[in-house]
């Protein structure tokens, strides 16, 4: 379910460098930041796709407890570069629109904290069996 969205994001990241606005609105350092964000999303895609490739090649006819643990770990590991890549690109879009990097940096950091809260803190606070 996550894969189509992250692949679409990756496609937009790749296309951005072919737009003239990319070269005119972003400084050299900001362009490098976009490259880093693209690399982070590519890393997340690799982690997210690994369970399917692993499963098809090792135990295609059944699901083991070890496989479920591996899938869970890979998905959790993928969330870190995905959150960083998303926030870095969000920062760059805000800079391109507002031209105020000092103002938008705290907003991008707040977005990162938001993702970390939803993806890592909330699941640990609300364990299965807790009342809604």
Contact 66, 4 (CB under 8 A): no
- Global confidence as pTM: 0.82
Q: Which of 77, 81, 75, 82 is nearest to 51 (CA)?
A: 75
CA distance 53 to 1: 16
Contact 91, 104 (CB under 8 A): yes
What's the pLDDT tens digit per position in 55-76?
Answer: 888 888 888 898 899 999 999 9
DSSP 25-51: HS-HHHHHHHHHHHHHHHHHHHHHHHH
The confidence score (pLDDT) of residue 131 equals 58
Q: What is the pLDDT along the chain (132 residues), one digit of tens a residue?
A: 677 778 888 888 888 888 888 888 888 999 999 999 999 999 999 999 988 888 888 888 888 898 899 999 999 999 999 999 999 999 999 998 888 778 899 999 999 999 999 999 998 897 776 655
Q: Domain residue spans in the chain? A: 2-125
DSSP 71-127: HHHHHHHHHHHHHHHHHHHHHHHHHHHH--HHHHHHHHHHHHHHHHIIIIIHHHHS-
């Amino acid at each position: 379910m996550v894969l189509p969205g992250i692949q679409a994001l990756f496609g937009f990241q790749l296309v951005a460098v072919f737009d003239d606005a990319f070269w005119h609105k972003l400084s050299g350092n900001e362009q490098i930041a976009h490259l880093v964000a693209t690399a982070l999303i590519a890393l997340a895609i690799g982690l997210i796709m690994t369970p399917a490739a692993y499963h098809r090649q090792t135990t295609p006819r059944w699901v083991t407890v070890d496989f479920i643990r591996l899938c869970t770990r890979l998905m959790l590991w993928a969330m870190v570069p995905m959150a960083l890549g998303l926030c870095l690109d969000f920062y760059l879009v805000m800079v391109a629109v507002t031209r105020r990097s000092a103002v938008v940096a705290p907003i991008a950091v707040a977005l990162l904290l938001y993702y970390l809260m939803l993806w890592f803190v909330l699941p640990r606070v609300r364990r299965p069996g807790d009342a809604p």
